[in-house]
Amino acid sequence: MTIELPVEAVSGKPLIDPFGRAIAYLRVSVTDRCDFRCVYCMSEDMTFLPKRDLLTLEELDRLCSVFVDHGVRKLRITGGEPLVRRDIMTLFRSLSRHLASGALEELTVTTNGSQLARYAAELADCGVRRVNVSMDTLDPDKFRAITRWGDLDKVIRGIDAAQAAGLSVKINAVALKGVNEDEIEPMLEWAHGRGMDLTLIEVMPLGEIEPDRIDQFLPLSRVRASLLDRYTLEDLPDRTGGPARYVRVKETGGRLGFITPMTHNFCESCNRVRLTCTGTLYMCLGQEDAADLRTPLRASEGNERVSQAIADAIARKPKGHDFVIDRGRNRPAVGRHMSVTGG
């Protein structure tokens, strides 16, 4: 049951969900489009949203600013590939005012790195301090196969540019059975050798794709066990409130994260919600329930209605997801792809 509060009672109030979790983190998918077609993320012939359905950059800024007004302290710009959206730097530039005012603690981006060489310096100039770059292999041929046509060299040049601009880079790699399973150690050595954290992600059942996900799924418990043959992994206290559990690899001195939605449910500490490029708010990555923020946003110039819609949505944030990947289940847990909700 949702309790309707008078408008003046919700504007600017912190967002606390029914389980007492404070929502301080918003991930914003600024486009569902991408210049890659990673095999676990998209099908080869994706149909993308018509451009007219997208929120404008000004509308995205306005919505993000309402969330900041409600106590959101961290914004992550993602997609699709956020850096392929036209004029995207305008959004970073305008959002940076919240960093300058101190209202926002962090503005970050998750990218496939293909456009990073072009934008790294400008991102740094807009106050971005950290970027996540998704890269699942160090082998150019494998990279092309996973992304369906991506150029690894371009991504590496993007990482070089990011580091040269002073950005701290974290590498995200989806662990794929029989694909990059044998590369975890080289990737760890490479990332830590360059002063970058590495986070491994279990593949999640989001959206229809051509391959069977059971064939891609590699439990990270297995990866961790095999790393223990060569490395000493020291558990680190959770500092992000996010889904990753971190260890310090004693031999390299670097940090290694595990995101294990399939083998370990992390929902109890979830502090985030996700906004799509059409203004739909998903309160959980793994559930269908969503709130339309575009209609209240466009209904008036003031932000009261959208504030109310956000408060109503947070009041029904679910306790968690229930992902399952098995042979008997041939449909994904949710129909939308990760590129829609924003990874």
User: Which residues are at the interface with ligand SAM (CB under 6 A)?
Assistant: 34, 40-41, 78-79, 81, 110-112, 134, 172, 174, 201, 203-204, 206, 338-339, 343
Q: How far is the CB of 108 from ligand SAM (least distance, A)?
A: 11
Q: How far is the CB of 264 from ligand SF4 (least distance, A)?
A: 22
Q: How far is the CB of 52 from ligand SF4 (least distance, A)?
A: 21
> Which of the choices ligand SF4, ligand SAM, none does residue 206 contact, using the CB cut-off of 5 to 8 A by kind?
ligand SAM
> Which of the choices ligand SAM, ligand SF4, none does residue 203 contact, using the CB cut-off of 5 to 8 A by kind?
ligand SAM
> Which of the choices ligand SF4, ligand SAM, none does residue 201 contact, using the CB cut-off of 5 to 8 A by kind?
ligand SAM
Nearer to ligand SAM (CB atom), residue 71 or residue 219: 219
Nearer to ligand SAM (CB atom), residue 41 or residue 63: 41
Q: How far is the CB of 276 from ligand SF4 (least distance, A)?
A: 13
Q: How far is the CB of 37 from ligand SF4 (least distance, A)?
A: 5
Nearer to ligand SF4 (CB atom), residue 75 or residue 206: 206
3-state SS, the chain, equals: CCCCCCHHHHCCCCCECCCCCECCEEEEECCCCCCCCCCCCCCCCCCCCCHHHCCCHHHHHHHHHHHHHCCCCEEEEECCCHHHCCCHHHHHHHHHHHHHHCCCCEEEEEECCCCHHHHHHHHHHCCCCEEEEECCCCCHHHHHHHHCCCCHHHHHHHHHHHHHCCCEEEEEEEEECCCCHHHHHHHHHHHHHCCCEEEEEECCCECCCCCCHHHHECCHHHHHHHHCCCCCEEECCCCCCCCEEEEEECCCCCEEEEECCCCCCCHHHCCEEEECCCCEEECCCCCCCEEECHHHHHHCCCCHHHHHHHHHHHCCCCCCCCCCCCCCCCCCCECCCHHHHCC
Q: How far is the CB of 329 from ligand SAM (least distance, A)?
A: 15
Nearer to ligand SAM (CB atom), residue 104 or residue 209: 209
Count Cα neighbours of 113 within 13 Å in the Cβ-side half-sphere.
Answer: 29
Q: How far is the CB of 318 from ligand SAM (least distance, A)?
A: 19
> Which of the choices ligand SAM, ligand SF4, none does residue 76 contact, using the CB cut-off of 5 to 8 A by kind?
none
Distances (CA, A) of 178 to 39, 195, 256: 14, 27, 21
Nearer to ligand SF4 (CB atom), residue 79 or residue 261: 79
> Which of the choices ligand SAM, ligand SF4, none does residue 308 contact, using the CB cut-off of 5 to 8 A by kind?
none
> Which of the choices ligand SAM, ligand SF4, none does residue 255 contact, using the CB cut-off of 5 to 8 A by kind?
none
Q: Please give the span between the terminal C-alpha atoms of the chain, in angstroms, as a whole number.
A: 29
Nearer to ligand SF4 (CB atom), residue 48 or residue 99: 48
> Which of the choices ligand SF4, ligand SAM, none does residue 204 contact, using the CB cut-off of 5 to 8 A by kind?
ligand SAM
Q: Give me the sign of the Cα torsion angle 333, 335, 338, 343.
A: negative
Nearer to ligand SF4 (CB atom), residue 68 or residue 123: 123
Distances (CA, A) of 339 to 72, 94, 165, 282: 22, 24, 27, 13
> Which of the choices ligand SF4, ligand SAM, none does residue 37 contact, using the CB cut-off of 5 to 8 A by kind?
ligand SF4
Residues that bind ligand SF4 (CB under 6 A): 34, 36-38, 41-42, 79-81, 112, 134, 339
Q: How far is the CB of 324 from ligand SF4 (least distance, A)?
A: 21
